[in-house]
Amino acid sequence: MSLSRFTLPVLLAAASAHAASRQVSFQHEVLPVLTRQGCNAGTCHGSPSGKGGFALSLFAFDAAADYAVLTRDLLGRRVDVFTPSLSLILRKPSTALAHRGGLKLPRDSREYRILRDWIDQGARTDPPGTARCEGIEVTPGTAVVLRWPEPVQHLRVTARFEDGSQRDVTHLAKFTSSDEAILEVDSGGRVAGRRRGQAAVMVRYLEHVAALPFTLVKPAPGFHWVVPSSANYIDTHVHAKLRELQFTPSGLCSDSEFLRRVHLDLTGMLPTAAEAGIFLDDETSGKRARLIDTLLARPEHAVFWAQRWGDLLRVNPARLQAKGVQAMHRWLVDAMASNMPHDRFARALLTASGDTFTNAPANYFRAASSRDDALETTTQLFLGARLACAKCHNHPFDRWTQDHYYGMGAFFHRVQRTTVDKKKGGKGEVLVGTASEGEVTHPRTGRTMAPWLPGRGEVSVPRGTDRRAVFADWLTRPDNPWFARAAVNRIWAYVMGRGIVEPVDDFRDSNPPVNGPLLEALARDFAEHGFDRGHLLRVILNSRTYQASSRSTPGNAEDRQLFSHYQPHLLTAEQLLDAVCRVTGLAEGFDGLPAGTRAIALPSPQMNHAFLKTFGQPSRDTACTCERGSEPHLAQALEFLSGNLVHGKLESGDNRFRKALAAGKSDHEIVEELYLAALSRPPSKEEHEFARRHIAKSNNRAVALADVCWAILNTNEFVFQH
């Protein structure tokens, strides 16, 4: 029979009848529709308390609970199997009744028809033995490059089921762009570029998440690639990405910029005026590399990097007591000074036991005071994974599930923390140890959770073996990609101003690295050199990429991610305080610490110090880098303009320029010394002339020089690292 004999209405009616005759799956169709339309998102009915008395599990992670809520609650009014069109689950999101969320389910949409057909068929749950979805595949399956004038790509999503079958679920998947300014994606999986850059599309179907990275290349007017010099593999990977996206790299920074930058990154301190003068006068080749080696060997380097780890490990007296803080600070300084390999460093913390006052690494489990805290801290610090969301439900933006959370939690469940009673001779220390038994029970399913590791699944731990040691063995293997990548990304961010993955501790498919080959090369190099932090720093700091100027060019002004030029960033609170002290020649006093203690050497936060608090010194309550403030704000400007600390040091009779006056130095000499101390460079001819005129107009040289010093301290060049 010829197909042409049928009219279009007849064909459509037949197709509709066929669809209606097929049993709609609650698990594989209804729940994905609710996710796709945003009904079970955290901002809607998927929030912990729901909305309007209607609560669904976040992104349908608990199908049984969702089925009960839809079909049993509210006297069954949400689903009316006798008159499907009266079901609240259809009437409200289609705005047939008032709906605070607005139109979510148009009556002519495919999603509306799926829900209506399911209700019309009796709103049944899936029969026993229904094949479970094991995962999804997105086509195309590799990173995509889109180019103008047609930067468009259509995605297809295929679900794999445990019975071996596959099904196209593109119409049931939810698509999200990681950066809508660069890339937009519609509900049908059509991806369209908006401007050049990099972004990812996250695809969700049930609990399964996949992400596809996109690079969008748009011709830049006048772009012409001139091969820049490369110092090592870092530059090779950075330049390849810049060339692909048509950004040109900036030139090299000046010697004075490099001197100041590398001193701050490795020691946390400005170079002295004398050090600046010597370096700037040195005309021999290789002086930058020699300076890097010198600074890595200085004790200030160990102290400064110990402070960075003190932030992450929450070294503060509220958690560890004063003795614990001192013990942990000394251990961190020693670990940095000896360049302890990062795998040994992690193992020492994760397997520590004993008295927290005498065995400093045991404070790791005093700061992380519970199983869940220890798990979340460990994965965030050493895997770059924020697992906290998976405690109550499957992670909304990553592959982590609730099962993964409690499976990994089994490694830390047996850690015991016993406070020594002061009445029995203790001084407040905690004894850390492990119990010989104890299992994790899944809070939703009631199942006993075996220890679980990414890439390995459930693992069997011999009786009597400390489970933490098994975890540490897996974590620190040279072929464990998570461990090395998380470490090098954090170190890179410390010296480059931003991570290759940003935030630095948020590795997930939907937040891809801006330069994947670069991250992999750094991780591989780090592992091959025994997780040597000093080696990695040398490689980064000797690269042309690190030594690039912070001044952008017309060819890279739009770039904020790819390291075409150095990213200026505000000095940390402690760096700024020490910098003010160095320029004025006056040390700062801290409660309970010896005179001359530098801010970068503080064992724990001085939260009563107004200057440090204003500039973002963290209280060390979390293991997140984000706790340290890094964005400039008005209060900081006022602190330099009229704050007590800066004003007091400028007025002191013992400061640098007043002592120089007393020693008979000329105005020219004093101004030059102030510039070298603050900015690691001599003043320009114009700056010298401005200072000369200002001093000449004043009848008080000391007051005029205080004005000059104040003006230097209030420049962006001083408060920012360039």
pLDDT tens per residue, range 173-225: 999 999 999 999 999 999 999 999 999 999 999 989 999 999 999 999 889 99
Kind and range of the H or E run holding 693: helix 685-697
Asked if residue 441 has pLDDT above 80, the reply is yes
- For the ranges 156-160, 396-400, 663-667, which has the lowest average pLDDT? 396-400
Residue pair 289/586 in contact (Cβ under 8 Å)? The answer is: no
pLDDT at residue 425, rounded to an integer: 61
Rounded to an integer, the average pLDDT of 681-694 is 96
pLDDT at residue 5, rounded to an integer: 44
Asked if residue 522 has pLDDT above 90, the reply is yes
pLDDT at residue 16, rounded to an integer: 47
Asked if residue 14 has pLDDT above 50, the reply is no
DSSP secondary structure, 3-45, as one string: GGGS-HHHHHHHHHHHHHHSPPPIIIIIHHHHHHTTTTSTTTT
Position 170 confidence tier, pLDDT thresholds 50, 70, 90: very high
pLDDT at residue 569, rounded to an integer: 94
User: CA dihedral in degrees (80, 81, 82, 86; nearest 10)?
Assistant: 30
Rounded to an integer, the average pLDDT of 410-422 is 91
Asked if residue 405 has pLDDT above 90, the reply is yes
Average pLDDT taken over every residue of the chain: 93
**Under CATH, which number does the domain 133-217 receive?**
2.60.40.1080
pLDDT at residue 12, rounded to an integer: 39
pLDDT at residue 612, rounded to an integer: 95
Rounded to an integer, the average pLDDT of 327-346 is 98
Tokens of 507: 């590795």
pLDDT at residue 420, rounded to an integer: 87
620 Rama sector, left if φ>0, alpha if ψ -120 to 50, beta otherwise? left
Position 10 confidence tier, pLDDT thresholds 50, 70, 90: very low
Radius of gyration of the chain (CA): 31
Report how far residue 318's alpha carbon sits from residue 325's, in angstroms, rounded to the nearest whole number: 9
pLDDT at residue 193, rounded to an integer: 96
DSSP assignment letter at 145: E
Q: Residue 244: what are its φ and ψ, rounded to 5°?
A: -60, -40
Contacts (Cβ under 8 Å, ≥6 apart) of 461 = 451, 467, 470
| pLDDT digits 0-9 by tens, 41-63 | 888 998 888 888 899 988 888 89
pLDDT at residue 428, rounded to an integer: 84
pLDDT at residue 1, rounded to an integer: 38
Q: What pTM was estimated for this model as a whole? A: 0.90
| pLDDT digits 0-9 by tens, 78-103 | 999 999 999 999 999 999 999 988 99
CB-neighbour burial class of residue 95 (10 A; exposed 0-12, middle 13-18, buried 19+): middle
Asked if residue 344 has pLDDT above 60, the reply is yes
pLDDT at residue 400, rounded to an integer: 86
Q: Which residues does residue 431 pair with via DSSP β-bridges, in sequence order? A: 355, 418
The residue with greater pLDDT, 448 or 19, is: 448
> Where are the domains positioned within the chain?
18-120, 133-217, 316-475
Report how far residue 5's alpha carbon sits from residue 285's, in angstroms, rounded to the nearest whole number: 86
DSSP secondary structure, 654-671, as one string: TSHHHHHHHTT--HHHHH
Asked if residue 8 has pLDDT above 90, the reply is no
Asked if residue 15 has pLDDT above 50, the reply is no
Report how far residue 505's alpha carbon sits from residue 494's, in angstroms, rounded to the nearest whole number: 13
| β 152-154/190-193 pair status | antiparallel
CB-neighbour burial class of residue 81 (10 A; exposed 0-12, middle 13-18, buried 19+): middle
pLDDT at residue 146, rounded to an integer: 96
Angle, alpha carbons 583-587-593 (nearest 5°):
150
